[in-house]
Every structure is written in structure tokens, then in C-alpha cells.
Amino acid sequence: MKNKILIGAGILLTVLILGLIIICGASTPSGTPTKETYEVRVDSVQVEIEGEGARNIPLSILTDNIQFNAEIENKEYTDIKIINKQNYKSKGIVFLAKAESNSNIKFSLYKNDELLQSVEVSFKEGEPADVALLLESSVNINKDDNFHIKVERNEGDETRFVFDSLLSFFDEE
């Protein structure tokens, strides 16, 4: 009887350890670059602001540990362009955004004129929301490609928002 209990406990412990290994392995951010790798591939982000034109935001501001720091203002962004330093394969982009008022904003990821992914996000005033533009398969992004996120609002909606924590997913294949 004692042997059956020990065998059962051993099997239960083995199953528990295998479960933890699977869970930990699944939560590893595959394709997520180190800060150094990210900075080798991406230079900065250029934003288009309604009525104000273009402005560059250094990558270091978007990847620091300060969420919604003062360097990134609430604006009517219409386009967010990733300025690349080298060619790579992308699995998509994720970032945080926070709108000044309740609204729906559509974000569309493009490579040149090709739509790769689109998502509409419902914002509640002042609450951060994830904008996930992840791709089913990786896409080759060349240094000179126009890799950007088009921002669309409903007609007459002038909602301003701030974004931060920009994270690109790379395919190392």
C-alpha cells in the first residue's frame, strides 16, 4: 500500500514538473528582442500629427521603463512610421495607447502599400489599452520599406492619444 502511494506521488510530481516546464516555455517571449538587438534594427519612430506635420521619437523613449513619459504627447497622430536601420523579418508590433476621451480608433499596419493587419480599439477615457498588430506569419521588412501604422478615427472625431512601450517582434529564421 505504501509503495502505491509513493508511486502515485511520484507520478503526480512528474506531471506537475512537466506542466510547469510547458507553462514557463509557453510564456517565454519568442521573437522579442533584447534592447541591444532592437536598437541595431530600428532607429526611431516618425509620427505624423494632424495639422503639425512629422516628428521623430527616439526608440529609447518608447522602450524605457517609464510608461507614458512626458516626451510623448497626447496628439492627433495619423501615422506611426518605424525607421529601420537594417533588414529583418517582422512578426508584428504591439504598443500601449491611452486616449483623452472615450472613442474607437482603428490601427492598420502596412508594409509600403500592403495592409498586413488591422485592429479597432475601444478606448475609455484615460485608461491604457493594448494595440496588438501581430501577424500570422513573418514578413520581410527591408531597410527602405515604409513600415508604418495608419491611424483612423470616425469622421469628425478629433480624439488625441498618447502611445508608449512600442515592441516589435522579430523572426530569427
Are the beta carbons of 87 and 156 closer than 8 angstroms?
Answer: no
CA pair distance 45, 58, nearest whole angstrom: 6
CA pair distance 105, 154, nearest whole angstrom: 8
> What b/e sequence results for 76-97 when a residue is b if at least 16 CB atoms lie within 10 Å of its CB, and e otherwise?
bbbbbbbebeeebbbbbbbbbb
- CA 62 vs. chain centroid, Å, equals 11
pTM for the structure as a whole: 0.77
Max mean pLDDT range (45-54, 68-77, 105-114): 105-114
pLDDT in tens, 134-163: 999 999 999 999 999 999 988 877 888 999
Contacts of 127 (CB under 8 A, 6+ apart): 98
pLDDT in tens, 53-63: 999 988 888 88
**Is the pLDDT score of 22 beyond 50?**
no
Rg of the chain's alpha carbons, rounded to an integer? 21
**Site of grid cell 525607421:** 83
For residue 16, what pLDDT is reported? Answer: 41
**Is the pLDDT score of 131 beyond 90?**
yes
pLDDT tier at 107, thresholds 50, 70, 90: very high
Are the beta carbons of 161 and 80 closer than 8 angstroms?
Answer: no
Compute the average pLDDT of residues 40-46: 87
